[in-house]
Amino acid sequence: MELALVMLAATVTVAPLAIRRIGDNLEPFLFVAGVAAVTFASRWSWKLVQETLRAPLSITAAVLGAGALFYLLQRPLERGLGWLKGRVDARVLVVGTIAVVGFLSSFLTAVIASLVMVEAVKRLALEKRTESAVVVLACFSIGLGAALTPFGEPLAAVAISRLSDAPYHAGTWFLLETLGMYVTPGILLVSVASLFFVREAMPPSAAGAGDRRETLVGALVRAGKVYLFVVGLLLLGAGFTPLISRLVSSVPWPVLFWANLSSAVLDNATLTATEIVPSMTSHQLVAALMGLLIAGGMLVPGNLPNVIAAGRLGIDSRTWARIGVPVGLGMMAATCAALALGG
């Protein structure tokens, strides 16, 4: 059983990176892998099926509702952003945008916060290098903020589900209470850091104002993918729990924290499903989650907001890495120091 699970874990880690078709169809792949994990571990039960099908409903509903709302409000949003651009300094708009989408992403969902951020940045008509830097920083902000509630992003939904029993009995606000003191300074830090990249806005431009608008069908399809994605992650977590529980108890929190640099190239929600277990101490838990959240912003594949923003604004992986890696490593070092002082 353990050998089969180890081989499956390696497949889940490597296959989305090595095989493009799998990477482009991650939701069904993870669902099949989750079914296999539970089967290998002989952990099927009616209770597991019920909980797995019920747990993703809140984030799915949030993604669908936020997508429909964005569809209705995208034109007024465009006009409002255009009005603000003519009256507010570009640097203030950039700092404000990064901070607002970060703090609201737990309620808007990471997907919608990313779409709003992209629309805002496009209308600032910044020079391309500056635009790329602002987008990378904004995705760090969204990735951090969306993790504070279970309807913000899949990572949070999976973590809450995995920790819902003893000893944590995690509820809706568990991650906000546990991670808020680290996430809030992180959002403020990346917001202010944008001042080093923004000098002034380019002349007003309507470029990109009407391309790739949100549709109701797109919102519905996205919600369905999120549901299948989270179901697959929960099944993976259930299958890997016995193995991970035995391993994680002896791993010091700094090792967990820095090992999660792998989240830069692997989706952090997938790592959450395979790594987070109730047997962790609170310090191990915070270290593991913060490592996942920060490293997830360093490269394009690490987080869903990165993928959305890079695709919509044409930011290549090399450009993203030039900005994301040094920013992420600086945040990792600062957070590690804070965790050491708090430990």
pLDDT top residue among 210 and 336: 336
pLDDT at 138: 96
Angle in degrees, CA 174, 309, 299, rounded to 5: 75
pLDDT at 91: 85
Q: How confident is the model at residue 99 (pLDDT cuts 50, 70, 90)?
A: very high
Per-residue pLDDT of 43-96, as tens digits, reads 899 999 998 898 888 888 877 887 788 788 878 877 887 777 777 787 888 999
Q: What percent of the chain has pLDDT over 90?
A: 37
Alpha carbon distance 269, 230 (integer Å): 9
In terms of residue numbers, what domain contains 78? 2-342
Alpha carbon distance 277, 248 (integer Å): 8
195, 201, 207, 210: CA torsion to nearest 10? 60
Alpha carbon distance 317, 94 (integer Å): 22
Residue 196 pLDDT greater than 60, yes or no: yes
Runs of H (alpha helix) within 125-275 = 128-145, 154-162, 174-193, 216-248, 253-259, 268-275
Per-residue pLDDT of 234-248, as tens digits, reads 888 788 777 776 777
Residue 136 pLDDT greater than 60, yes or no: yes
Q: Tell whether omega for the bond before 167 is within 30 degrees of 0, i.e. cis.
A: yes
| Residue 140, burial from CB neighbour count under 10 angstroms (0-12, 13-18, 19+) | buried
What does pLDDT average to over the chain?
85
Out of 118-127, 163-172, 181-190, pick the least confident: 118-127
pLDDT at 211: 52
Alpha carbon distance 52, 56 (integer Å): 7
Q: On the CB side of 112, how many CA atoms lie within 13 Å of its CA?
A: 31
pLDDT at 208: 45
Separation in Å, CA 66 to CA 15, 118, 176, 212: 31, 16, 20, 17
Residue 249 pLDDT greater than 70, yes or no: no
Q: How confident is the model at residue 202 (pLDDT cuts 50, 70, 90)?
A: very low
- Per-residue b or e along 171-192, where b marks 16 or more CB atoms closer than 10 Å to that residue's CB: eeebbbebbeebbbebbbbbbe
Are 155 and 292 a contacting pair, CB within 8 Å?
A: yes
Q: Which amino acid is at 107?
A: F
Q: What's the average model confidence in pLDDT over 5-10?
A: 84
Are 313 and 122 a contacting pair, CB within 8 Å?
A: yes
Residue 206 pLDDT greater than 60, yes or no: no
pLDDT top residue among 246 and 290: 290
- For the chain, the first-to-last Cα distance in angstroms comes to 36
Q: How confident is the model at residue 16 (pLDDT cuts 50, 70, 90)?
A: confident
Q: What's the average model confidence in pLDDT over 104-115?
A: 89
* Nearest in space to 118 (alpha carbons), one of 92, 96, 97: 97
202 secondary structure, DSSP code? P
Are 339 and 284 a contacting pair, CB within 8 Å?
A: no
Q: What's the average model confidence in pLDDT over 323-338?
A: 95
pLDDT top residue among 249 and 221: 221
Hey, which of 83-97, 177-191, 254-268, 305-319 has the most confident mean pLDDT? 177-191
pLDDT at 214: 67
pLDDT at 209: 44
Q: How confident is the model at residue 324 (pLDDT cuts 50, 70, 90)?
A: very high
Q: Report how many domains make up the chain.
A: 1
